[in-house]
Structures are given as structure tokens and as C-alpha cells.
Structure 1
């Protein structure tokens, strides 16, 4: 490691590098059946042939499909922060199932999947996580699969792309705009430029002055530097109606990051929803399951 880092700080820097380069798989502890919904286990390949796993949750008689992905280090269900082993990041459960139930009952079919190196999906890129910079290949893969599917291909499509999944979705759309031309709209909770989150973490851990060394260590593990991970280079090429939500006082980032992402979006049909009353980023992932009005209005308007 860089000799400027004191010995007592080196292990902290290495642990942070491992977190950003490798994420961590978390278990799926709930299913749609727990909320009275029928569902089907599905699998399909990413753009680069990583095996991805997910759920299809049908809404009888509907021709509308929302494709849902998730943040790092979560999965299609959410995040079991209520379990001792996973309390470090938030200390409570993130559960997408109430949100799925609301959308299901409102007449939307749902296709929810685990991105590479998360949940039950396969390993990609040597197990390296990139908060979107590799995971865009999953967004492309699920869209190609849905377009070839005998049922899904006939449906109106929307997207629910969260955090890492939003970063990935923006990059996928930028790289392959023709593939997403028929998507009606997108909701993108909490996209992020990782440098902001890394600075917040390093500040809390007393290693902020070594953040450039952190980037060096992440690269050694095969990952991207924190300055290289984020959606700003890609959002100008996104022209579908997009709603972004964000915890305003999020302790992991700063409002300016999401404000800049929002301003750069290439669409005129966009909305930014601030979530108030908390500093915990993970509250933002439960928001639409508890306060669905903005979500339902956006999908109803465009789908």
C-alpha cells in the first residue's frame, strides 16, 4: 500500500476498497407469496451471458410490465438489515415487496431481478461490483430477453431502477438507445456518484485524506475508482420520462449530486422528488412502498 498511509489506517482503507470492489451478497428472505401474490421464478442471460435470476409477478389482464432492479448490496427482495449479520449498513429492513404489491394491485406486471454478483444471480467480471459500470450489461440483457419473450414483448414497458440499478440503467440506455426506444418511462430512486458516498464513509472512518489511496486499492482489486462511478456521463442521452427520488439530507451524499444528475437528464419530462424527515439513505428505498402516490401517478401518466 501507499507508504503515506499510517499502519493503523491501512486495514481500514483495504476494507473500504474491498467493499466498493466486491459488494456483498445478501439473502432473499421474503417472496411475493408472503404478500399474497403469485409469482414465477425466471432466469435469463445478461448481455455478456451471466446467468441472472428473478421473479415474474403477473397482474391478471394487464398489458403493462415494469422491470425492477436494485441497489448495491441488495437483491430483488430488498435488504435484510434487521438481521444481525447485515445491520452495519442501516439497522433495519429494506423490503420492496410492499411496493410490488401496490403496483401489482394497480394493474402492473412485474419483472424483478438480481444483478450480477448479487442475490442469486451469477458471478460476472471476476466478482467485481461497479455500482453500474459493469451492471449495465444486466439491464441490456433483461431488455433483450423481454423483447424476445412471447408475452412480455407485447406489453407496454416501464422501469424501476434503484441506485446502482439506476446508474446501470442510464448507462445501458446511453450505450444502446435503440434497444430502449419503446420504454414508456422510468423511476430512478437515488442514483449516485460514488465519490460522494466514498467521501462520507472515509470521513466517518477517519481516512478521508487517503481517499485517493482508496481509489488505488480499488483499482488493484479490478474495480473502478470512485470518481469513475456515476451516471453523469450517460444521463444526457436519456430521453424517456424519468422521475428521480432522493433523501434530501442523506448522510451518504449531498443534494448537489442528485441535482446535477437531474439537470443533466436529456428529457424535458422529468421530476425530482425529495424525501424529507430522515438522514438515512435506506429510508429512501422503502419510500414508495409506504408513500406510493408519486410512483403511481408517474406510471399512470406515461404507461
Structure 2
């Protein structure tokens, strides 16, 4: 069935193993689990730096986990995103060296985390509950309860955080959350267009999504909720990213009503270029978080 096959391509999480651990990067950490408001058990690492400043990282979706992206097991798709593995522990290392602790966790249906009520990617709508759960975990943690929190929200992580600010009053009201970096926010429609599929296949997939999987991913997605983001936000975008629409990213930025900044990168023409850049170029990330945490 075309509809199911296209739906799987769009919203069924691919192989997203936790393929490395912080100790391989010389980092001290502990394994943690915590529950969302709808009962999903999320799995993560608390990478230990100082106890007064914590970065919560939310990764991109479908083929990613807390530690990043591995080409292993991706078959013909392995070079579609990037030409090698992407190691999110690279940014963990330089942020710990700067004095931060990090909570790196797997979104529902990814990595070692549990399945949601729907085992599909919802492009941030259900995953917003994971962001709130992560923030609450740190806010209520005995060692970190007085910490200031920064959000490092990548692609679907940015979508999830944006939905959370708009739909979860407790996040917006939490005074411990001080700032966010949104890396390449992307609405679902442009992601699908980037797959290069004929419109009849896309329509078939979307029809199956809605009818059989109760997932509707058409329209503006999280964009109406950008105005609800209540903390200073840095938006990072590779101008050569083939999977996005720069006018949409500009709309995201323009809709922010807080102190904000846009960092446009000139990188290779692949979606994953900015994610790889993130772990290798600490200066702007350090400067932004250092200003607000």
C-alpha cells in the first residue's frame, strides 16, 4: 500500500540507536529516566559540570538519538543527511568545559526512550511533553533545583520546544528557563517537499497518516506558537540547507517577541551540515548561553 509506505517514510522513527556514551569523551555522567505527563518513560544522561547551570538538549527526529546520528544501518539513505556520523557529545564536552551540566535525553519513540500512545513522530506536537518533562526533571532535582536552564533545541527539538511554550503553561511560567537556541526549525511540509516525492504520493501518505495513525502534519505546524516563546532565543540556520525554506525560517524569527538573534551559516548543501557544525564551533554557543545563564 502506497499510503502506508509513504507514511512510514515520513513519520516512523528509523534506527536511532544510542551508539556511544559520554565516558568515551572523557565526561562524567549518570544514566537517568523520568516520566512525561502522559506516562512515557524517557531515557537520558545527566552529564556533570556545575550544578547552577544546565543545558537541556532536544535532538532532531526520525533517525536521531541523544548522542546524535549514525550512518550505520541507514542503507541507501546514509548520506542523505550527512556524510559521516554526527556526535552531539562534542558540544557536551565543550559546554561541560565551560561549566555547564547537560541533560541529553531521547525523545519518545527514539533511542532508549519508551513509546508514546502513538508510536509515530508528530513533529513536536506530542514531543512537547518530553521537553516539559525534561525541564521538570531538572527543576525538581535535588542537586540542580536552583539551576538556571538553557534549551538547546535541534530541528524537531525546536518544534517540540516551540509547541511547549505555546501549549504548556508550566514551561512558559517556569522562571528557571532563561534562554533557548533553536537550530534549524523546520515545518513538516517543507521536509516532505525535500524528499522529492510526487504530490500524489505525498497526499497518499498524509491521508494514511490522518486516517490510520491519527497524525495530521499539514499546515503551519508550530509557527503560530512562536509568539509564545518567552525567553531570549538564538536561531541558527544553514543558508544552503536543501530541506528547508528560508522564508519559513525568517517567519519563525520575525514572530519571536523576545530578545533574539539569527545566525546564518554558509555550509555544505546538506541538512546535517549545521548539526555537525554545532559540535565543532563552540564560540557562538558559549557566548549565547554565557549571556543568559
TM-score (normalizing by structure 2):
0.92
TM-superposed CA distance for 1:126, in Å, is 2.6
8 Å Cα contact 1:51-1:121 kept in structure 2? yes
- Alignment partner of 1:129 is 2:118: no
Secondary structure, in 3 states, of the residue corresponding to 2:179? strand
Secondary structure, in 3 states, of the residue corresponding to 1:225? coil
- Alignment partner of 1:196 is 2:185: no
| 1:130-157 residue CA offsets vs partner (Å, 9 max, x unmatched) | 1101100111112222222111211111
Runs (4+) of structure 1 exceeding 6 A deviation are none
Name the count of aligned residue pairs. 288
Over 3 Å counting, the alpha-carbon distance change for 1:265 and 1:157 in structure 2 is same
TM-superposed CA distance for 1:297, in Å, is 0.6
TM-superposed CA distance for 1:15, in Å, is 2.4
**1:94-113 paired onto structure 2 within 5 Å:** 94-113=86-105
| 1:224-274 residue CA offsets vs partner (Å, 9 max, x unmatched) | 33324632011111120011111112111111111111111121x111111
> Please, which runs of 5 or more residues in structure 2 have no aligned partner?
none
TM-superposed CA distance for 1:37, in Å, is 0.5
TM-superposed CA distance for 1:83, in Å, is 5.3
**1:18-37 paired onto structure 2 within 5 Å:** 18-37=8-27
8 Å Cα contact 2:36-2:133 kept in structure 1? yes
8 Å Cα contact 1:129-1:223 kept in structure 2? no
CA distance in 2: counterparts of 1:98 and 1:223, whole angstroms: 37
CA distance in 2: counterparts of 1:21 and 1:83, whole angstroms: 18
TM-superposed CA distance for 1:69, in Å, is 1.2
> Partner residue of 1:254?
245
Secondary structure, in 3 states, of the residue corresponding to 2:288? helix
**1:60-75 paired onto structure 2 within 5 Å:** 61-73=50-62, 74-75=64-65
> Partner residue of 2:111?
119
CA distance in 1: counterparts of 2:180 and 2:121, whole angstroms: 23
CA RMSD of aligned residues (A): 1.8
> Partner residue of 2:233?
242
Over 3 Å counting, the alpha-carbon distance change for 1:169 and 1:231 in structure 2 is same
Over 3 Å counting, the alpha-carbon distance change for 1:20 and 1:84 in structure 2 is closer
CA distance in 2: counterparts of 1:217 and 1:75, whole angstroms: 26
